[in-house]
Amino acid sequence: MSNHEAVKRVPGAGLAKGLAVTFRTLLRRSVTAQYPEVKPALPARSRGAIALLEENCTSCMLCARECPDWCIYIDSHKETLPAPEGGRERARNVLDRFAIDFSLCMYCGICIEVCPFDALFWTPEFEYAEYDIRDLLHEKDRLREWMWTVPPPPENDPSGAVPKEITTAERTAGPLTPGAGGDRDGGSEGGAGE
């Protein structure tokens, strides 16, 4: 039906073309990553596993409540601190158990977003597959261990709004050094030391 398309072709031209591609590919460097030997370079925002900075956790349960599939388990008890001189007794929460079931987790990051005390972080680590699904339940010591692999967050795009952490810090400590994100027109290669 489409006669105008049927330009007389040399028989086997398609085959020759295919072989030419094969030959060209033979000369090109492979793009395959040799995974177990060579680890992938993952960006800082990569959602691999959730790390818990136990010291920051007040067991407020916000993360467990907001989790869309309820895979965070928290147990805590109240402890009364003896009254310091001239003061009164203070109650404080002690975290007994904090566990994330990674076999249920959907890796959405809502728990990290809602945590008001910066106790949860993403780490790009991903090599924690298990033979038994029950071993994917990470208790708080294992979650604490992930903390050592948490990378610093990437610097924001210079045309974005100044993050609220920096504005609050500047309000108390004065202007930050250029490059730390507070200085808008300064170069970003400056000492972002702290």
Partner 1 sequence: MDISERTVGVGAGAAQTGDAVSAKDMATEDMVLNIGPQHPSTHGVLRLRLRLDGEQIVSAEPIVGYMHRGAEKLFEVRDYRQIVVLANRHDWLSAFANELGVVLAVERMLGMEVPERATWARTLLAELNRVLNHLMFLGSYPLEMGAITPIFYAFTEREYLQAVMEEVSGGRMHYMFNRVGGLKEELPAGWTGRARATVAEVRHGMVRVEEIIHGNEIFRARTRGVGVLTREQILQYGVSGPIARASGVDFDLRRDEPYLAYGELGDVLRVVTRTEGDCHARFSCLLDQVAVSLNLADACLDRLEALPPGPINQRLPKVLKAPEGHVYQWTENPLGLNGYFLVSRGEKTPWRMKLRSASFNNVQVLKELLPGNLVADMIAILGSMFFVVGDIDK
Where on the chain is the footprint of partner 1 (CB under 8 A)?
1-2, 9, 13-14, 17-18, 21, 31, 42-47, 66, 68, 106-110, 113, 122, 154-161, 163, 184, 188
**Parallel, antiparallel or unpaired: strands 72-81 and 90-101:** antiparallel
Least distance (Å) from partner 1 to the CB of residue 90? 26
- Closer residue to partner 1, CB minimum distance, 95 or 166: 166
Nearer to partner 1, 55 or 188 (CB): 188
Query: Can you point out the beta strands (E) in 10-119?
Result: 49-52, 72-81, 90-101
Structure tokens belonging to residue 5 = 């398309």
Query: Nearer Cβ to partner 1, position 98 or 122?
Result: 122
Q: How far apart are CA 3 and CA 154, in angstroms?
A: 58
Q: How far is the CB of 88 from partner 1 (least distance, A)?
A: 30
Closest to partner 1 by CB, 171 or 184: 184
Give the H or E element holding residue 132: none
* Shortest distance, position 89 Cβ to partner 1, whole Å: 30
Question: How far is residue 152's CA from residue 135's CA, in Å, rounded to a whole number?
Answer: 28
**Closest separation in Å from C-beta 168 to partner 1:** 14
- CA atoms within 13 A of residue 119's CA, in its CB half-sphere: 20
Smallest separation (angstroms) from partner 1 to the CB of 33: 9
Nearer to partner 1 (CB atom), residue 9 or residue 77: 9
For the CA atoms of 116, 66, 78, 137, what is the dihedral angle to 10 degrees? -110
Contact present, 74 and 64 (Cβ < 8 Å): yes
